Amino acid sequence: MSISRRSFISLPLAAAALSPVFAQPPSNATLLTRPIPSTGERLPCVGLGTASVFDRDDAETRQHAGDVVQALVAGGGRLIDTASTYGDAESVIGSVISAGNLRSRVFLATKCEEPDIAEFQRSLARLRVRSVDLLQLHNVRNPKQSLMQFREWKAQGLCRYVGITSTYHRDFDAVEAVLRNEKPDFVQVDYSIDNRLAEERILPLAKEVRAAVLTALPLGRARLFGTVRGKAIPDWARDFASSWAQFFLKFLLADERVTAVIPGTSNAEHMTDNLGSMRGRLPDAEERKRMAAFVAAI
């Protein structure tokens, strides 16, 4: 049965497992960043995904988005990932960034379905910016896909990096072909502790072609919270994870090929909890195997 994160943390056993609910490592702990391979620019390893959480442009959504983005920045994060097809998410994020004068403090990524200037210009207008940090071709399906137009926009200063995305395993052949032929700066794929095909197929090639890796759906659309419902974090994991979210996110970040995880949330407390994954130690290789086995056995 599916369970939302909000419902999950209200459960007595879950709450007991967190003690306190969103315990954070010391604020002076080193903030985990990773280099973007094509330039060496360092990026904080936990960002914000916006699919399905900011898709309505109304006062309540903008309030939640403002709180979450403020929590992101205050906690040392920078990356915000959105798309032209995420309902009104671009408009909501654009409003929040503009109102808070936050453009210089965030790494802004969006996606286009096609290399179409009208679509891209619409995204820039909705985001209220002249350029984005990362422009991604969304849901790559064509193994012969060219990124020439995206590179032209990069040369014009409309974006600083170009990338590709897919959360459809049936299209991983195409993703691999475009990675190999076009060598984009970034690739974004779905990857979580219970969904590890990207670990086998995409991450090795991304490392070979020097593409940064963003992991979409790192909490499995909250599926993972349902898996551990009513269960306490195992004692052997408490040294590196103060919550289940940190358990799941640190599993991914322990793979150095992952540049950043981008869980979606409309809750500022959850954002702060996620950012805790950038502080404190990461699980080692043996602990990582144990984590995967623990989740698989539930």
Question: Which residues, at least 6 apart from 177, have a Cβ–Cβ distance to it below 8 Å?
Answer: 143, 144
The per-residue DSSP string of the chain comes to ----HHHHTTSHHHHHHHSSTT----TTSPPPEEE-TTT--EEESB-EE-TTTS-S-SHHHHHHHHHHHHHHHHTT--EEE--TTSTTHHHHHHHHHHHHT-GGG-EEEEEESSS-HHHHHHHHHHHT-S-EEEEEE-S---TT---HHHHHHHHTTSEEEEEEEE--GGGHHHHHHHHHHH--SEEEEE-BTTB-HHHHHTHHHHHHHT-EEEEE-TTTTTHHHHHTTT-PPPGGGTTT-SSHHHHHHHHHHTSTT--EE--B-S-HHHHHHHHGGGSSPPP-HHHHHHHHHHHHH-
Domain locations along the chain: 5-297
| Alpha-carbon span 40 to 257, nearest angstrom | 14
Instruction: Specify the pLDDT at position 23.
Output: 42
What backbone phi and psi angles, to 5 degrees, belong to 164? -135, 160
Instruction: Specify the pLDDT at position 7.
Output: 56
In the chain, what is the greatest distance between 2 CA atoms, to the nearest angstrom? 54
Instruction: Specify the pLDDT at position 21.
Output: 37
Residue 46 CA from chain centroid, whole number: 7
Q: What is the CATH code for 5-297? A: 3.20.20.100
| Alpha-carbon span 9 to 273, nearest angstrom | 12
How would you write the pLDDT of the chain (298 residues) with one tens digit per residue? 445 666 555 444 443 333 333 444 445 568 999 999 999 999 999 999 999 999 999 999 999 999 999 999 999 999 999 999 999 999 999 999 999 999 999 999 999 999 999 999 999 999 999 999 999 999 999 999 999 999 999 999 999 999 999 999 999 999 999 999 999 999 999 999 999 999 999 999 999 999 999 999 999 977 999 999 999 999 999 999 999 999 999 999 999 999 999 999 999 999 999 999 999 999 999 999 999 999 999 8
Tell how strand 186-190 and strand 33-35 pair up. Answer: unpaired
Instruction: Specify the pLDDT at position 30.
Output: 87
Q: What is the mean pLDDT of the chain?
A: 92
| Alpha-carbon span 133 to 157, nearest angstrom | 10
Instruction: Specify the pLDDT at position 221.
Output: 79
| Alpha-carbon span 239 to 243, nearest angstrom | 11
Residues 174 and 143 sit within 8 Å (Cβ to Cβ): yes
Query: Which token pair is 227?
Result: 């898996």
Instruction: Please report the sign of the dihedral spanned by the C-alpha atoms of residue 243, residue 261, residue 258, residue 140.
Output: positive
Residues 52 and 254 sit within 8 Å (Cβ to Cβ): no
Residues 156 and 179 sit within 8 Å (Cβ to Cβ): no
pTM of the model: 0.91
Instruction: Specify the pLDDT at position 26.
Output: 46
**pLDDT tens-digit readout, 12-23:** 444 333 333 344
Residues 266 and 47 sit within 8 Å (Cβ to Cβ): no
Going by C-alpha positions, the residue among 44, 129, 52 that lies closest to residue 86 is 52
Cβ-based burial of 10 (10 A; exposed 0-12, middle 13-18, buried ≥19): exposed
Cβ-based burial of 30 (10 A; exposed 0-12, middle 13-18, buried ≥19): exposed
Instruction: Specify the pLDDT at position 110.
Output: 98
